Structure 1
Amino acid sequence: MADIPRPAPVSFSEFEPVSTAAWQERIRRDLKGASAESLVWTPADGFAVQPFYHHEALAALGALPTPQVRPQPATAGWLNVPTYAVGASSMGHAAIDRAAAALERGADGAHFDLTDAASFDVAYLHRRLPLATSYVGYSLRIGAASFVQRLLTAEPAGLRGFLRFDPITDHAPDLPGQLADLRTVLGLTRRFRDFRALTLNGAFFANRGGTVTQQLGFTLATAATYLSELPDETLTAAEVAAAVQIQVGLNPTYFLEIAKLRALRQLWATLLHAYELPAGAATDLRIFAGTSTWSKTTLDPHTNLLRVTTETMAAVLGGADAVSVAAFDSLYHDPNEFSDRLARNLPVILREEVQLHRVADPAAGSYYLETLTDQLARDAWSLLQDIETLGGLPAAVGFVLQELQKVAQQQFQHIADGTQVVVGTNRFQDPHEQFDYNPKKLLRSRDFDSTRATYPSEVLRLATALHFQRREKKRKRAAVVLLGTHTNQLILESFMQLLPKDERQTFNISHPEGTLSLLFSTPEGAMLMYATPDQFGHFARVVCRVRQDDAGFVPPYLLNADLATMQEAVALFGFKEFTVEGYSTDDVLARLQGR
């Protein structure tokens, strides 16, 4: 990009230059004999992050990096775009009203995540938010062409915002039909430069625990598929690329997240070059960054406010064009004005008070961040090549899901053994925490997000809290709570962390591989058990009085029945108690609950 000026050297003559060797000597002195290698950090991506970077780091990149310059949105810096979930069979009036109110109180747009796009009241939306001038995004899984046609019928003059319709990432049925639908959408909206009709769901990978490298590589592989499959006699690859926006999810790993967004822009330019598209088109990429669900907790939930602050700062410093901040209590509360306002005001404060929009690329030239950006871009491109070797997407979707599952299990393990700290959940817990929700209702809810990093820890804590409530009330009822697969191992790791160091030893845990973990709670006591998936499925049908041949039945997480029925069913199906060598179930539960 010849029109972008090269960075001029900056000199501070009043300071003496300090060599790398001098810095390293100072580090050794401050460590008082400890090795500097002890400060090396290895994130889940697998590469080593050094504790110290100097100007040699930029030289190792091959050339001085160029600051990333991108077109500015209508609002200086970035757009503040809250997300509103609209459930099945809902016309969305309540969500539309919330969005209209938010636009009067600091928001720049609205994003509607639609479960049932056919039921969404487009006419009401247009009355409340004029579609030609309001920045509005829509996420849906099916029916994209008919939905966009309804939008254009309501407002023939045009649309401003985006559509997230990504049948590859969202595993929509009938992919050829969905791609044909997408071509129709791109044809209908190609003349609206302020509407991005091909927003990719890169947040899917962040919300399932993917490493930063995986998020970049898998999203890039999705983009490559669309660039290959969508063009036809009516649609060019350049038109497909011009319609692209990428939605990313952000986690609290601050510097990695900044580097992720910067690497994404570099990778997009490289991908367009591979498709022989003009390099200048890469500057048109828009990034829509949202706080992720993966890192959020229901325990000590106000810590989520700190997490979303870190994530949002990473988004704007990394160069996002629009941000969406989730309410801190969205995991367990219905929408409310208090938490909505906190979430909405966070990007406003970063722009109006912190003034983070004053610099186009704040990370440019940082030895550390430029190195991270380059490392992530290289590793993600290598991962893209691996996926292409497997046939690209969707052929390699099994590989993608397997890799995500592997990394997620590692993080579950690290949270259980304390290697990965989650404040308020596995470290610095509040032993007297009073839940601002009904644990029983939350465990029963199908909307309780089970794809988060802290889910196994939370379910055990909520389930044991229910047990103690039941014991205090002395009700002659019992409950079985499904804790999930592999949870007994996580319980063991968590239990180990709570023992005094001189009591820690190698324990045996009695449960076969691949079984489900359960908590059996009665007014008199609680017992941790395990069962095979088939055992639990039959058991749930008995307790819920559902026919055994009902294939559509999905067992709930929480099963309640009178004590006699539950004891008889547990005995009938032969569930086994899980024991830790030297400690009973009651010992384990008492320690985990802080008693």
Structure 2
Amino acid sequence: MADTPPSSPLSFSEFDSLSTAAWQERIRRDLKGADQAALEWHTPEGIVVQPFYHREALEGLPQGQMMNPNTQWLNMPTYAVGPADKGHRAIELAAEALTRGADGIYFELTDAAAFDVTFLHERLPLATTYIGYAVRIGAAGFVERLLATGTAGLRGFLRFDPVTDHTPDLAHQLADLRTVISLTRQLPEFRALTLNGAFFANRGGTVIQQIGFVLAAATTYLEQLPSAEVSLAEVAAAFQMQVGLNPNYFFEIGKLRALRRLWATLLHAYGLPTEAAQALRIFAATSTWSQTTLDPHTNLLRVTTETMAAVLGGADAVSVAPFDRIYQSPNEFSSRLARNLPVILREEAGLNRVADPAAGSYYLETLTDQLAREGWAVFQRVEAAGGLPTAIGLVLQELHSVAQTQFQRIANGEQIIVGTNRFQNPQEQFDYNPKRLLRSKEFDSTRAAYPSEVLRLATAMHFQRREKKRRRAAVVLLGTHTNQLILESFLRLLPQQESLALKASHPEGTLSVLFSTPEAATLMYATPDQFGHFARVVCRVPVDEPDFIPPTLLTADLATMQEAVSLFGFREFNVEGYSTEDVLARLQGRR
């Protein structure tokens, strides 16, 4: 208002300025001799977070420009379009979403050739609608079809990342990318080269690994895409990074800020100007890694934290997944909640009114610098191993190792998943069929909560069956690595004599299954061949059926199950005095 007096600068001159040393002395006094190191947080990434940070922490840190001055981030729901699907249903849902709070749309296309771009243009005019597309093959042909609709231009981006997605015939895919960049070089509002950094987040990679691996993929394109038709500057200008988000709030903020800083470092190494780095766009999507099927409404809280971190970290666009996407088909209720979450953060929380709110925070500036340094070290290690895709085996092995460590931390309670391995709802009623879910090929088994979910869902089915018919049994295939971690956590809870006996009965390199009956819990061990033959008998599948894949869950009457177990030589260990519910309760820390 014109008559509003100007605000006076705040002054706290009446308070004495305290140095870091003075604060540390006060902490020592308050701790009364206790070790200050006990207040440090040693994260799984290897970062040591101090109990407090002071302005002196900023001394020596890079003092660059604002990480992202743009406050107009976009709310972009994601719609998956399956094989041979023209996408009409997804396009109609997208058109409705744009009238109800969405700013743009992101389509994940399994079959880009089948997607009806003419219908898309009729419902969502391509020149005015911000649309992202994820494709695995046929990128150039797909973009040519978009442009053939007669539109004056395109707004949005294409995610086509054959390096990260391990697409066959890389040379041909790179040629496709050059064509795409050439076709769209005169379209300033379209990014032709979006990296799939979400791949690493969805497989449990640490924020440091995610940073380093994304930079390694980017370097491959900067090295191999420039040609007589496409310049290095045009390749850099086409870049966008898609990242996956997990609930570690401050680390996710730091991850996005560190990516921007290192992108500038990388382009500087290629002799490109600072302005090229400032043009980088980041598209952030909530990840599958942190999602659960147990107490699933907690997913709403997780994606809220993730989305806030993305916005405060400087994302240009965000996509929030429905809280029930792991076990339900798309539906209006959960889609509306997901779409409205960013709207609330923008319209009610006002998170679009301040640019780079993390700037100047002693903790976040320090954390950003630490993540950038460690992420750069990971990048250099991949480059020393030959870069991508040569070093993809190393990358996948490191992701696998970190994921297994997290599984172990979750199994023994060091890492908490609310509602899954801590603070469970013992009266939870599932609004899905656990048996069908476990058998489904679409059930995502790469998530952090998966091992705990298998036990919980299998046990729930066991007790449901017991109420209906007491002579039923189930075998649940948990997998070599997963069940080993569950087994180790359970061993620590058994009496010593039983624990030693169980260890002695466990042969190396075999699959593990959990055998539940109404009376007791039995752990069993079988080779892959043993389990395959066993599954054929239980499922009544002929021996000469070549494409049979043993399902995760097998059920039969108790007599058949016990006979098959004996016939195929499974090694059993009865956990005396413990029912299946006792086993589950001990693994989840409830007893």
The one-letter amino acid paired with 2:40 is: V
Aligned to 2:110: 115
Q: Tell me the SS of whatever aligns to 1:358.
A: coil
Contact 2:134 2:160 in 1 (8 A): yes
The one-letter amino acid paired with 1:465 is: A
Residue identity over aligned pairs, in percent, reads 73
> What are the Cα deviations for residues 361-414 of structure 1, in whole angstroms up to 9, with x where unaligned?
111111111111111111111111111111110000000000001100000000
The one-letter amino acid paired with 1:108 is: D
Q: Tell me the SS of whatever aligns to 2:137.
A: coil
Question: Of 233, 240, 246, which residue of structure 2 is paired with 1:238?
Answer: 233
Contact 2:536 2:543 in 1 (8 A): yes
Normalised by the length of structure 1, the TM-score is: 0.92
Aligned to 1:460: 455
Structure 1 unaligned residues grouped into runs of 5+? 1-8
Question: Of 583, 587, 590, which residue of structure 2 is paired with 1:588?
Answer: 583
Aligned to 2:322: 327
Aligned to 1:59: 59
Contact 2:85 2:114 in 1 (8 A): yes
Q: Please say if 1:554 is aligned against 2:546.
A: no
Structure 2 unaligned residues grouped into runs of 5+? 1-8
> What are the Cα deviations for residues 133-189 of structure 1, in whole angstroms up to 9, with x where unaligned?
101111111111111122111244121111111111111111111111111111111
Q: Tell me the SS of whatever aligns to 1:374.
A: helix
The one-letter amino acid paired with 1:55 is: R
Aligned to 1:161: 156
Bigger mean CA deviation after superposition, 257-266 or 94-103: 94-103
The one-letter amino acid paired with 2:295 is: D
Q: Tell me the SS of whatever aligns to 1:345.
A: helix
Question: Of 433, 438, 442, which residue of structure 1 is paired with 2:433?
Answer: 438
Q: How far has the Cα of 1:318 moved from its partner?
A: 0.3
Q: How far has the Cα of 1:17 moved from its partner?
A: 1.2
Aligned to 2:388: 393
Aligned to 1:43: 43
Aligned to 1:77: 72
Question: Of 308, 315, 318, which residue of structure 1 is paired with 2:303?
Answer: 308
Bigger mean CA deviation after superposition, 228-237 or 90-99: 90-99
Query: 1:574 and 1:204, CA in 2 relative to 1: closer, same or farther beyond 3 A?
Result: same
Q: Tell me the SS of whatever aligns to 2:371.
A: helix
The one-letter amino acid paired with 2:67 is: Q
5 Å-filtered alignment, 1:537-552, equals 537-548=532-543, 550-552=545-547
> What are the Cα deviations for residues 508-564 of structure 1, in whole angstroms up to 9, with x where unaligned?
334233322212345665533222223222332333344546554332212234444
> What are the Cα deviations for residues 6-45 of structure 1, in whole angstroms up to 9, with x where unaligned?
xxx9963243212212222332344343222011112222
Contact 2:412 2:587 in 1 (8 A): no
Partners of 1:338 and 1:584 lie apart in 2 by 38
5 Å-filtered alignment, 1:81-96, equals 81-96=76-91
5 Å-filtered alignment, 1:406-425, equals 406-425=401-420
Question: Of 263, 266, 271, which residue of structure 1 is paired with 2:261?
Answer: 266
Contact 2:473 2:518 in 1 (8 A): yes
Query: 1:364 and 1:579, CA in 2 relative to 1: closer, same or farther beyond 3 A?
Result: farther
Contact 1:86 1:95 in 2 (8 A): yes
Partners of 1:69 and 1:527 lie apart in 2 by 56
Partners of 2:457 and 2:231 lie apart in 1 by 53
The one-letter amino acid paired with 2:60 is: A
Q: Tell me the SS of whatever aligns to 1:357.
A: coil
Contact 1:131 1:155 in 2 (8 A): no
Aligned to 1:292: 287
5 Å-filtered alignment, 1:86-235, equals 86-235=81-230
Q: Tell me the SS of whatever aligns to 1:84.
A: strand
Q: Tell me the SS of whatever aligns to 1:409.
A: helix
Partners of 2:249 and 2:283 lie apart in 1 by 17
Query: 1:366 and 1:105, CA in 2 relative to 1: closer, same or farther beyond 3 A?
Result: same
Normalised by the length of structure 2, the TM-score is: 0.92
Bigger mean CA deviation after superposition, 545-554 or 425-434: 545-554
Q: How far has the Cα of 1:270 moved from its partner?
A: 0.7
> What are the Cα deviations for residues 307-347 of structure 1, in whole angstroms up to 9, with x where unaligned?
11111110000000000011111111111111111111111
Q: How far has the Cα of 1:428 moved from its partner?
A: 1.0
The one-letter amino acid paired with 1:325 is: V
Contact 2:520 2:574 in 1 (8 A): no
Contact 2:160 2:194 in 1 (8 A): yes
Q: Tell me the SS of whatever aligns to 1:96.
A: helix
Bigger mean CA deviation after superposition, 561-570 or 383-392: 561-570
Query: 1:555 and 1:11, CA in 2 relative to 1: closer, same or farther beyond 3 A?
Result: farther
Q: Tell me the SS of whatever aligns to 1:105.
A: coil
Q: How far has the Cα of 1:89 moved from its partner?
A: 2.0
Q: Tell me the SS of whatever aligns to 2:48.
A: coil
RMSD, aligned α-carbons: 2.4
Aligned to 1:68: 67
Aligned to 2:354: 359
Q: Tell me the SS of whatever aligns to 1:514.
A: coil
5 Å-filtered alignment, 1:483-522, equals 483-492=478-487, 494-495=489-490, 507-508=499-500, 509-510=502-503, 511-522=506-517
Q: How far has the Cα of 1:351 moved from its partner?
A: 1.0
Partners of 2:83 and 2:562 lie apart in 1 by 38
Q: How many residues align?
A: 579
Q: Please say if 1:277 is aligned against 2:272.
A: yes
Bigger mean CA deviation after superposition, 510-519 or 384-393: 510-519
Partners of 1:379 and 1:560 lie apart in 2 by 48
Partners of 1:326 and 1:101 lie apart in 2 by 17
Q: Tell me the SS of whatever aligns to 2:212.
A: helix
Query: 1:584 and 1:345, CA in 2 relative to 1: closer, same or farther beyond 3 A?
Result: closer
